[in-house]
A and B are shown apart, each in its own frame.
Chain A
Amino acid sequence: MRQHADRAPKVVINHLRALRAARGWSQQHLADLLEVSRQSVNAIETGRYDPSLPLAFKLAELFDLAIEDVFVSPSKEQ
C-alpha cells in the first residue's frame, strides 16, 4: 500500500529497544509492566506507532528516565 509521506506524521525516534535490552527484558515482560499487548511494544519499538503522552510517560518512568531520554524530539534529530 502506498505511503503518503505528506499525510502521515513522521514517527518519533525512540531508544526503547536498547533500553529494554540493557535490562534484559523481553517485549512481553515490558508489555506486562505497561499493561498493554506485546504488539503495542513491538509497534512502538519498530517505529510503527507513536504512543500517547500518558503511555510515553509511563514508559519513561518504568526505566526511571526522563521522557527525552527515551524519545528523541523531532526538532533535535540530526
Chain B
Amino acid sequence: MTSDVANTRYRDPATKRYNRRMIGAMLSYIVLLIGVQRAFDLDAMHGPARWVLAALPGLPIAAVFWLIGDMILDMRDEYLRLLEVRKALIATGVTMTLVSILGFLEMLGGAPHLPLFYVPVLWFGSLGIGQCANMLIERQRS
C-alpha cells in the first residue's frame, strides 16, 4: 500500500520514506508468513513457543500502522497531512462500524465467524472510502 498524497511534482520526504519502509514491511510479512508455515510444524507445537511463532506474521502488519502514524507526524505539507488524518479517521470509523454490526450478526443473527485477521484488511480497504470522502469534501468546498 503506497501513499497517494503526493502530486506530480511535490514529493514529501515523509511519503517517500513511508513507501520505502512499506515495501520492507510487506516483504517481511511474506517471508514470515511463508517461513512460519513451512519451517515449523505448528500443530506439533504447544504452549508459548507456538504462540510466539503464530504471532510473528502479525508484527509486520503492526509495523504498517506504526509507519502510517510516523508518516503523518513527519509530513511537511500540513494540508496533505490533514487529508491523510481525515482519511485514516474515516477508515477507522467505517471499520469499527462494520465489525460492530458483524459482531452482532455473528452473536445474534447466526452469521458465520469472521476471523479477526480481516479487521486490518477491512481498515486498509476503508482507506479507499476515506480517499473518496476527501475528494467529495474538497470538491464541495471549492
Binding site for B on A (CB under 8 A): 1, 3, 28, 31-32, 35-40, 43-44, 46-49, 51-52, 55
Contact = CB atoms under 8 A, between A and B. Distances in A.
Contact of B138 (A36, A38, A48): A48
B76 interface: yes
Interface of B: 5-7, 9-10, 12, 76-80, 82, 133, 136-138, 140-142
Contacts of B79: 36-37, 39-40, 43-44, 49, 51
A37 B138 contact: no
Given A1-B136, A31-B10, A49-B82, A36 B141 contact: no
22 contacts: A1-B137, A1-B140, A28-B9, A32-B9, A36-B78, A36-B79, A37-B6, A37-B10, A37-B12, A37-B79, A38-B7, A38-B9, A38-B10, A39-B79, A40-B79, A40-B80, A43-B79, A43-B138, A44-B79, A46-B142, A47-B141, A55-B78
